[in-house]
Amino acid sequence: MQSSLIDIQGRKISYLRVSVTDRCDMRCVYCMSESMEFLPRPEVLTYEELERLCAVFMRHGVRRIRLTGGEPLVRRDIGDFLQSLGRWIRPVSSAPGLDELTLTTNGSQLGRYADTLVGAGIRRVNVSLDSLRPERFSAITRRGDLHRTLAGIHAARDAGLAVRINTVATKGINDDEFDNLIVWCGEIGADLCLIETMPMGETGEDRRAQYLPLHSVRLNLQKRWSFETADGATGGGPARYVRIAETGQRLGFITPLSHNFCDSCNRVRLSCSGQLYTCLGSDGAVDLREILRSGGTDSDILDAIDLSLARKPLRHDFLIPDNDAQVQGPARLMSVTGG
């Protein structure tokens, strides 16, 4: 099925990121403030509402859905929703539905849910892990337990899930750990993706102090590791991959500030409150929850999606200047749309 979801720039939308909750059991310094006020539960879409919206997207060309949060696995009864959404994974390429259902998690609940994910048809997960040092991990996450996250990662691997480790590269915080992370990922058979910090919302942290351009990181790593061209160099998302000859695993780079990836953007994001964001770096959204709860039809939902795509910007406007100029980025926190 050809996608009927095409933005004003002519880009086909085939990838939907769905936040199922704004809640999380961590408070990572680049994602949330330490003192959070979460949405009242009535403002959060029910699982039935989420699946209905996903179905509209899938019927019109979305082929990949990634579930995010907050932390998606802290939402009650998430296993039933995973099973229900997993039924959309299509057996043949001509059928409407999904090529892939995936999930991004902080790993804290993976020990409980690894088998459930596999049973729902999920074959790979992204796990946020910014340090292999317990005290540093605790400081970055403000309340996380490294041993629990590592146990979750091993449970995922034991269940047969492919794992990609997501590490936000933060200047002066974890920039001395990239070699150790490469070695460790090689040992457990996981890919690694380094991500530049993005100026989203007020987290109480200095974004200028955090920002580390990944082109310099890559040049430094190439002094010690042999990079080869990786098959599927983009993986359908914003990461650009190489394969590390010494470990056999892939290393990805997501560079929203130093080298944006907007020309090939195929993504939109649905928040847990039903706001559709066509750009991670923009505050503009269309309210799909209002349409759902006022008795709107699927055609009404599709019309609103098309309206949103007609406003999708050419590129995001993230900016962390070197001088005293204002840091530019959306007012909402990263946790609202799950990155």
Q: Are 192 and 164 in contact (CB under 8 A)?
A: yes
| DSSP-based three-state secondary structure for 36 | coil
* Distances, alpha carbon 327 to alpha carbons 79, 322, 324, in Å: 39, 10, 9
With CA atoms as reference, report the closest residue to 273 among 254, 290, 296: 290
CA pair distance 58, 61, nearest whole angstrom: 5
Annotation: binding site for S-adenosyl-L-methionine: 30, 70, 128, 198
For 92, counting Cβ atoms within 10 Å of its Cβ (0-12 exposed, 13-18 middle, 19+ buried), the class is: exposed
Q: Which residues are annotated as a binding site for [4Fe-4S] cluster?
A: 24, 28, 31, 262, 265, 279
- d(Cα 37, Cα 43) in Å, to the nearest integer? 13
Roughly how many angstroms between the first and final C-alpha of the chain, as a whole number? 28
Please enumerate, by residue number, every residue annotated as part of a binding site. 17, 24, 28, 30-31, 66, 70, 104, 128, 198, 262, 265, 267-269, 279
**Structure-token pair, residue 277:** 């964001």
Q: Note whether 278 and 17 are within 8 A (CB).
A: no
Alpha helices in 4-77 (DSSP H): 47-59
Is there a contact between 72 and 104 (Cβ–Cβ < 8 Å)? yes
CA–CA distance from 245 to each of 43, 145, 217, 227 (Å)?
48, 32, 18, 6
* CA–CA separation, 11 and 335 (whole Å): 26
Tokens 């039809």: give the residue: 297
Binding annotation for GTP: 17, 66, 104, 267-269
